[in-house]
Amino acid sequence: MGKVNRYFQPVEDNVQSSTNEKFVKYDVDFNKIHDRKKKFKNVHKERKIIKKIPNKNPKFKGRAPIPEELLEKYGKGEGLDCKEIKTKIHQKKIEKKELNIKFATEQAARTEILLTEEYGCLDADDGETTTQYTQKQIANNVDIAAASKHFELKLDFGPYRSKYIRNGRHLLLGGKKGHVAAFDWITKKLHCELNVMESVHDICWLHNETMFAVAQKNFVHIYDNNGIEVHCLKRLNKVSRVEFLPYHFLLASCSDEGYLSWVDISIGKLISQYNSNLGRLAIMCQNPWNSLLCIGQSNGVVSMWSPNTRDPVAKMLCETTPILGLNVDPSGRYMATSSSDRTIKLWDCRKLTGPIQHNRLSSSATLLNFSQTGMLAVGMGNIVEVYRNPTTPLCSRYIRNRSNTPTSYMEFCPYEDILGVATSKGFQSLLIPGAGEANFDALEANPYQTKRQRREAEVKSLLEKVQPELITLHPSVISTIDVPSLKEKVEAQQKLLFVKPPNIDYEPRKKAKGKGGSVKVHRNKKIVQEQAKKEFIKDTKETQKKQKSNKKTTSNLLDRFL
Amino acid sequence: MKVKVLSRNPEHYLRETKFDIHKVPRNYDPDLHPFAAAREYIRALNAVKLERVFAKPFVCNLDGHTDSISCISKHPKGLSSLVSGAFDGEIRVWDIPQQVCVRNFTAHDGIVRGISYIPNGNSFTSIGDDKIIKTWNSLRPQFGEEEKPLNSILSKTILYGISHHRRDPIFATCGEVCQIWNESRSEPIKTFQWGVDSLHDITFNPVETTLLASCASDRSVILYDMRDKAPLRKIIMKLRINKLCWNPMEAYIFTCASEENLYSFDTRNLKHPVNIHHDHVDAVTYIDYSPTGREFVSGSYDKTIRIYETDKGHSRDVYHTKRMQRLTCVQWTLDNKYILSGSDEMNIRIWKARASEKLGPLKPRERASLNYSESLKEKYASHPQIRRIKRHRQIPKHIFNAQNVLKAMRQKNKRKEANRRAHSKPGSVPFVPERKNHHVLAEHK
């Protein structure tokens, strides 16, 4: 390790001088200055005054500055404009709050320096490209521990699906012909292996490695880490894809018959189940940022579903041909879609706009997966390609791997430089340097979790279980201010309370001469006006009553946003 | 070819021995922490629910008196000692941590009207219906010795209340007149009189120590300055004031317990109260400030104790038990942790000042977690669910019913006034703010 120069490190020569400069002592003989006061005894004493002098050396300006991009990364958005607040006390309160938020942001940005682990990288020599390196070459050039992470399993019950657990430590394999295996893939320790004697359509880990769900021929079954069937969810039948929403403890699934369902696995309750009216659903992924289910349709539309409404929360027309692959990146910023016209498009998943990037491939991609650092793996037949910076114009092909059998599923391993590729004849894990997040947060996902830590994390996460009502397009909607609806409420109240009966201009029909004098006309006018007024009062009373009865039914937590 | 693949050394992430704590590397990258807002909200919701789960304010019960408690006085220097007087003339001294009575004697013929410790806590003075002011030693008499007052003074007038000066050996009594006494003299050094009322309560200001306030039976509060010859000010209310207490931190604020509400006054402007504290459904008999001056506790004839924040109009908490009858006196202990209450059914009860607070020492992590949940509760206080849970209290049926009755009465008055306003000449029925509605006048002498 060479000497690291940090930007806050002072140059050694200046250290001495700067410390001396800060405080200068003055010895003052007060007898000379205050001759008049000699009669007071106390003044005779010599006093020392320490005076602070501003530091003139521009190199040392207190704490190290924080780069703008870091502040932006950890920032919590624009604050409130305190000048618009009318009451002084609230203005002060908000000002203080804003200061606190700013301080928190700065502190968070400063912690960046404590992140010790370095990201992986792969640089090609002159005249070479990174795509030409084979897995064997890469494995030969890395340390033994990392090289052991590249392995291949030959299995006979394919095509397989594979899922990594949230901390990247455990792997779950499910073969179409009934083979299910769970193991710690780093130590290669097998948890369980079984054949369910039914077709397996999809698998997924639940909140930790002690349980996983398997979508079988008819129902979804839940197994524990010894391979013992714990539950059979008969309400979920003919399921094609399952996803686990870790913060909500929801097992989301889509079925061959077009049904979407969400089961709360902590209480075993079916939260919501409805028909999407889209026919067979087979392309599904979750948006990790807001936990909406994204479903790729055969008409090129991606629809996003929440358990709270029976209509999609959002729909995007992404392709003109059927969608084959769909994935959302872990930060929830980007969505990648691929279709049968051999294109890949990248979309802004927060603004629901795009495409940001539009690429054409040699053949149509059926599998897409984003890594934690934003790399995109694309699976086409038996070829897997990994792209760097897929969302920018600098997008470049990074690694290319060809296997003998077609790829059936692939997924980046969280917190590791690994891409797990499941094929029809087994599983192989590929080394993709720089794909994984180097520094994990142990309170969020800890690959080195002990048994006790796992148990504690389970309890903590259960306590913090987010309610399914909070699955919305924008996840932080709960912390926003309910301004427009309040305004609307006040307006509605005022409308109800302060209404005037309408003015009715009664224009009598022209009648023949001699029929009906002015008295009669006037009386008719009064009658019409009276009638209108009565009707109006009746109407307003009814609406007021309705308003009152409506008030009682509000119970949902997010009703205030309706 | 230059290649580096992530390869962590497990030694950096695992603890070395079983006796170490686990290593917890953190990464505050927002992308690794999705649903920050929603999870924080759930945490706040849990915190506020747990607060209600742990809200068990009742600590213990001191029984031994054979008649209703008339007054209690807390020790000015120690936290463990408490003196109480009863309607049968008995005085008991309690050891609070041991929850036992350490001393009891009959001090007066008839009711013990008031007890007050002298500032150093070495002795206490009691007054009774027998018009005698007796001073007692705080220490128990030696074995074989009889309980005898150190000093007893026969007053010429009836005595209803006593309050000791914060520092000096001076105390004030009230009855027919307000009298200032020196501990070493048997005659009052000063007597104040304003009208021919009887005064039933008197309190020295703990900060502006020459200032006194007393409650009179003509529904008034009278302010005195000890250095002055005559009383200073008088406020007359619509209903009688039962008890008055000065804010120990803000010398100019006092709060008085009335037949229905509590009123906080600022001595600099007595034209109307600075705040009215609602929620009791019957006469409020006693009030005491917390030593921080931020909160006060009140006991009422409706068999409940309520705790108010000084700047809020409604109570923060309400304490009641099935067995506790009408409150005669409540005190907030000087460590700001407990509330002492004496009631009609001869018991003194000790309550926690904050119902869900954990008693005993806290470990640093525990304290940090409690602080965190405190600030979460504050941050999300205005969310409807959280506000509802935080405010919810089970109250006895008679109070629930009384509240409904009071509510109906208030609505009826409001409606009637609105009707009257609607059918009279504009401006002839003015809007009177709530704060000016309970108040009759403020007088100078």
Residues B193 and B289 in one domain: yes
- Determine, yes or no, domain membership for A474: no
Question: Of the candidates A220, A173, A134, which has an alpha carbon nearest to the alpha carbon of residue A424?
Answer: A173
Nearest Cα residue in chain A from B30:
A74
Report how far residue A419's alpha carbon sits from residue A412's, in angstroms, rounded to the nearest whole number. 4
Report how far residue A108's alpha carbon sits from residue A94's, in angstroms, rounded to the nearest whole number. 21
For residue A539, the model assigns a pLDDT of 85
What residues have CB less than 8 Å from B127, skipping those under 6 apart?
B108, B112, B113, B114, B133, B134, B155, B159, B160, B161, B162, B173
| Residue B215 β-bridge partners | B201, B221
Residues B202 and B324 in one domain: yes
- Determine, yes or no, domain membership for B246: yes
CATH number for B141? 2.130.10.10
| Paired tokens of A510 | 């022209």
pLDDT tens digits, A441-471: 999 999 999 999 999 999 999 999 999 999 9
Residues B241 and B173 in one domain: yes
Report how far residue A74's alpha carbon sits from residue A111's, in angstroms, rounded to the nearest whole number. 10
For testing contact with chain A, the best of B1, B3, B11, B385 (most A CBs within 10 A): B3
State if pTM tops 0.90: no
CB atoms within 10 A of CB A514: 6
- Determine, yes or no, domain membership for B237: yes
- Determine, yes or no, domain membership for B298: yes
| Paired tokens of A33 | 């200055």
Domain span including residue A8: 1-65
- Determine, yes or no, domain membership for B357: no
Distance from CA of A496 to the nearest CA of B (A): 19
Residues A328 and A406 in one domain: yes
Nearest Cα residue in chain B from A482:
B383
- Determine, yes or no, domain membership for A316: yes
Residues B282 and B385 in one domain: no
Question: Of the candidates B65, B67, B110, which has an alpha carbon nearest to the alpha carbon of residue B83?
Answer: B65
Residue type, A158: G
B13 with A448: Cβ contact below 8 A: yes
Query: Which strands, in side-by-side order, build the sheet including B327-332?
Result: B58-63, B347-352, B338-343, B327-332
Contacts of B10 in chain A (CB under 8 A): 448
Residues A177 and A324 in one domain: yes
- Determine, yes or no, domain membership for B370: no
Distance from CA of B41 to the nearest CA of A (A): 8
Residues A102 and A160 in one domain: no
Contacts of A73 in chain B (CB under 8 A): 29-30
| pLDDT at A271 exceeding the cut of 90 | yes
Of A118, A142, A331, the CB nearest to B31: A331
- Determine, yes or no, domain membership for B419: no
For residue A394, the model assigns a pLDDT of 85
Residues B196 and B309 in one domain: yes
Chain B: residues touching A (Cβ < 8 Å): 1-8, 10, 12-14, 22-43, 46, 383-385
Give, in order, the Cα–Cα distances in Å from A288 to each of A184, B28, B31, B38: 24, 17, 10, 14
Q: What pLDDT band is residue A528 in, cutting at 50, 70 and 90?
A: confident
Domain count, chain B: 2
Residues B64 and B165 in one domain: yes
Report how far residue B384's alpha carbon sits from residue B386's, in angstroms, rounded to the nearest whole number. 6
Contacts of B33 in chain A (CB under 8 A): 441, 444
pLDDT tens digits, B51-85: 999 999 999 999 999 999 999 999 999 999 999 99
Contacts of B385 in chain A (CB under 8 A): 557
What residues have CB less than 8 Å from A537, skipping those under 6 apart?
A501
For testing contact with chain A, the best of B1, B4, B5 (most A CBs within 10 A): B5
Residues A10 and A102 in one domain: no
Contacts of B43 in chain A (CB under 8 A): 463-464
Report how far residue A438's alpha carbon sits from residue A415's, in angstroms, rounded to the nearest whole number. 6
A475 with B35: Cβ contact below 8 A: yes
Report how far residue B260's alpha carbon sits from residue B298's, in angstroms, rounded to the nearest whole number. 12
Q: What pLDDT band is residue A38 in, cutting at 50, 70 and 90?
A: very low
The kind and range of the H/E element at A140 are helix A135-140
Of A123, A436, A470, the CB nearest to B38: A470
Report how far residue A233's alpha carbon sits from residue B226's, in angstroms, rounded to the nearest whole number. 82
- Determine, yes or no, domain membership for A214: yes
Of B4, B10, B35, the CB nearest to A433: B4
Residues A169 and A200 in one domain: yes
Q: What pLDDT band is residue A415 in, cutting at 50, 70 and 90?
A: very high
A247 with B7: Cβ contact below 8 A: no
Report how far residue B109's alpha carbon sits from residue A279's, in angstroms, rounded to the nearest whole number. 93
| Residue B106 β-bridge partners | B90
Residues A163 and A262 in one domain: yes
Contacts of B24 in chain A (CB under 8 A): 442-443
Contacts of A443 in chain B (CB under 8 A): 24, 26
| pLDDT at A27 exceeding the cut of 50 | no
CB atoms within 10 A of CB B127: 30
Give, in order, the Cα–Cα distances in Å from B7 to each of A142, B10, B120: 9, 9, 70
Distance from CA of A115 to the nearest CA of B (A): 7
pLDDT tens digits, B129-184: 999 999 999 999 988 888 899 999 999 999 999 999 999 999 999 999 999 999 99
Nearest Cα residue in chain A from B37:
A476
Contacts of B31 in chain A (CB under 8 A): 330-331
**Residue B289 burial (C-beta neighbours within 10 Å; 0-12, 13-18, 19+):** buried
| Paired tokens of B93 | 């001294």
Contacts of B26 in chain A (CB under 8 A): 111, 114, 441-443
DSSP string, A43-82: GGS-EEEEEE-----TT--SSPP--HHHHHHH-------G
Of B14, B25, B28, the CB nearest to A74: B28
Residues B298 and B209 in one domain: yes
Residues B170 and B50 in one domain: no
For residue A465, the model assigns a pLDDT of 96
Residues B209 and B222 in one domain: yes
Query: Which strands, in side-by-side order, build the sheet including B100-106?
Result: B69-74, B81-86, B90-95, B100-106
- Determine, yes or no, domain membership for B410: no
Question: Of how many residues is chain A composed?
Answer: 562
For testing contact with chain A, the best of B6, B16, B18, B31 (most A CBs within 10 A): B6
| Paired tokens of B244 | 């008055």
pLDDT tens digits, B306-335: 999 999 999 999 999 999 999 999 999 999
Question: Of the candidates A252, A234, A235, which has an alpha carbon nearest to the alpha carbon of residue A243?
Answer: A252
Q: What pLDDT band is residue A47 in, cutting at 50, 70 and 90?
A: low
Residues A108 and A223 in one domain: no
Contacts of B37 in chain A (CB under 8 A): 475-479
| pLDDT at A48 exceeding the cut of 80 | no
Domain span including residue B108: 58-352
Nearest Cα residue in chain B from A288:
B34
Percent of chain A residues past pLDDT 90, beyond the cut:
67
For chain B, the first-to-last Cα distance in angstroms comes to 99
- Residues B124, B127, B132, B133: what is their CA dihedral angle, to the nearest 10 degrees? 30
| pLDDT at A403 exceeding the cut of 60 | yes
A120 with B5: Cβ contact below 8 A: yes
Residue type, B160: Y
CB atoms within 10 A of CB A212: 28
DSSP string, A154-222: E-SS-SEEEEE-TTS-EEEEEETTSEEEEEETTTTEEEEEEE-SS-EEEEEE-SSTTEEEEEESSEEEE
Residues B40 and B182 in one domain: no
DSSP string, B298-342: EEETTS-EEEEETT-SSEEEEE--SS--SEEEEEE-TTSSEEEEE
Q: What pLDDT band is residue A342 in, cutting at 50, 70 and 90?
A: very high
B36 with A476: Cβ contact below 8 A: yes
- Determine, yes or no, domain membership for B337: yes
| pLDDT at A42 exceeding the cut of 90 | no
What residues have CB less than 8 Å from B28, skipping those under 6 apart?
A74, A108, A111, A441
| pLDDT at A32 exceeding the cut of 50 | no
Of A120, A439, A453, the CB nearest to B27: A439
- Count interface pairs A-B at CB distance under 8 A: 140
Residues B142 and B247 in one domain: yes
Question: Of the candidates B44, B33, B42, B87, which has an alpha carbon nearest to the alpha carbon of residue B65?
Answer: B87
pLDDT tens digits, A94-125: 999 999 999 999 999 999 999 989 999 999 99
| pLDDT at A24 exceeding the cut of 70 | no
Distance from CA of A213 to the nearest CA of B (A): 23
Q: Last residue of a domain, which of A431, A466, A501? A: A466
For testing contact with chain B, the best of A329, A470, A483 (most B CBs within 10 A): A470
**Do B87 and B104 meet the contact criterion of CB atoms below 8 Å apart?**
no
Residues A339 and A399 in one domain: yes
B24 with A443: Cβ contact below 8 A: yes
- Please state the rounded mean pLDDT for residues A210-224: 96
Contacts of B50 in chain A (CB under 8 A): none
Residues B43 and B71 in one domain: no
Residues A386 and A292 in one domain: yes
Distance from CA of B9 to the nearest CA of A (A): 9
Residues A300 and A401 in one domain: yes
Residues A89 and A168 in one domain: no
pLDDT tens digits, B257-295: 999 899 999 999 998 899 999 999 999 999 999 999 999
Domain count, chain A: 4
Residues A51 and A80 in one domain: no
A476 with B5: Cβ contact below 8 A: no
| pLDDT at A473 exceeding the cut of 80 | yes
| Residue B347 β-bridge partners | B63
pLDDT tens digits, B382-415: 999 999 999 999 999 999 999 999 999 999 999 9
CATH number for A185? 2.130.10.10
Tokens 């409420």 identify what position?
Answer: A489
Nearest Cα residue in chain A from B2:
A123
Contacts of A470 in chain B (CB under 8 A): 35, 38, 41
CB atoms within 10 A of CB B213: 26
**Do B356 and B52 meet the contact criterion of CB atoms below 8 Å apart?**
yes
Nearest Cα residue in chain B from A373:
B31
Ranges assigned E (strand) in A383-474? 383-388, 396-402, 407-412, 418-423, 426-431
Q: What pLDDT band is residue A49 in, cutting at 50, 70 and 90?
A: low
Contacts of B45 in chain A (CB under 8 A): none
Of B25, B39, B385, the CB nearest to A247: B39
CB atoms within 10 A of CB A86: 7
- Residues B44, B49, B51, B55: what is their CA dihedral angle, to the nearest 10 degrees? 170
For residue A25, the model assigns a pLDDT of 41
Distance from CA of A377 to the nearest CA of B (A): 17
| pLDDT at A11 exceeding the cut of 60 | no
For residue A220, the model assigns a pLDDT of 96
Lowest mean pLDDT among A66-80, A336-350, A491-505: A491-505
Query: Phi/psi at A549 (nearest 5 deg)?
Result: -70, -30
Lowest mean pLDDT among A204-208, A494-498, B37-41, B60-64: A494-498
For residue A329, the model assigns a pLDDT of 94
DSSP string, A341-394: TSEEEEEETTTTEEEEEEEE-SS---EEEE-TTS-EEEEETTEEEEEESTTSTT
Question: Of the candidates B300, B257, B264, B306, which has an alpha carbon nearest to the alpha carbon of residue B282?
Answer: B300
Contacts of A145 in chain B (CB under 8 A): 7
Tokens 């995109």 identify what position?
Answer: A376
